[in-house]
Amino acid sequence: MQNDGTIGSSIKKARKKYPYTLEELGKKIGVTHAFLSRVENNKATPSDELLEKIAGALDPFNSADLLNEFKILTGKFKDIDKNNEVYKELKASGRLEMLQYNHDKSKPLLVDKPYYKLNFLFENDYRVFYDLKTSILGENIATIEIPPSMLDDIYKKINLTIIEHIKEHPYILKSIEDSSVLNDYLDKEQQKHDELIEHVKYMNLNDSMEKLMSKLVKEDDLL
């Protein structure tokens, strides 16, 4: 089951599928529609008892396994069925940080902001679309569906690029277990960028391209 990783959106999606209005569901489970709206907008956290009532109302025969899904999305992992489809999807996608990646070793952690492992995208049978733009943040020219053969080629190039980059910056291998590693890497990249800008400022524009390039490249290879 696909979801955006918040308890509110999951409840709202299930409610509309039933379908119930906010007023109807609120009356059935004994809360106001205003409070239920806050829950759906992730502005209020439902109690365990309320989660059970919502799941019971929207999934009375437990055919959609909503209670397990709700517990996972609120970080309540006790007595969770690890074979649950939502649990397996979140774990595979990288949304669920397991014990070895979680600095709080007491329980798994559902990350605040949704993210996916690139591998998960390439290794599953998904249709993948891409917006063609004039630049990274530029205007969208067209949207295309990427053919599977092209996806395979892109995946290989990404893998090779990352491997080559790790050869130059091996400390990145510890970026999961130590959150400061990535920040240090970004700081160094920003420093290189700033140094490059300083070089450009003081260049003699009459220099030949060969001299220009030699000034840009230091011992630590700015480019």
* Per-residue pLDDT tens digits for 162-212: 999 899 889 888 887 787 888 888 888 888 888 877 776 766 655 555 555
The two tokens of residue 61 are: 């025969």
Block residue for tokens 């509309």: 16
What is the C-alpha to C-alpha distance for residues 208 and 126, in angstroms, rounded to an integer? Answer: 50
Calculate the CA dihedral of residues 148, 149, 152, 156 and round it to 10 degrees.
-160
What's the pLDDT score for residue 93? 64
CATH class of 7-116: mainly alpha
Please state the φ and ψ torsions of residue 28, each to the nearest 5 degrees.
Answer: -70, -35
Q: Contact at 8 Å (CB) between 217 and 223?
A: yes
What's the pLDDT score for residue 174? 86
Would you kindly state where each structural domain of the chain is located, as residue ranges?
7-116, 180-216
* Per-residue pLDDT tens digits for 143-155: 899 998 899 999 9
What's the pLDDT score for residue 219? 41
Q: Is the pLDDT of residue 51 over 50?
A: yes
- Largest Cα span, the chain: 79
Other beta carbons within 10 angstroms of residue 182's beta carbon come to 14
What's the pLDDT score for residue 205? 57
Other beta carbons within 10 angstroms of residue 90's beta carbon come to 22
Q: Contact at 8 Å (CB) between 59 and 66?
A: yes
The two tokens of residue 117 are: 């492992």
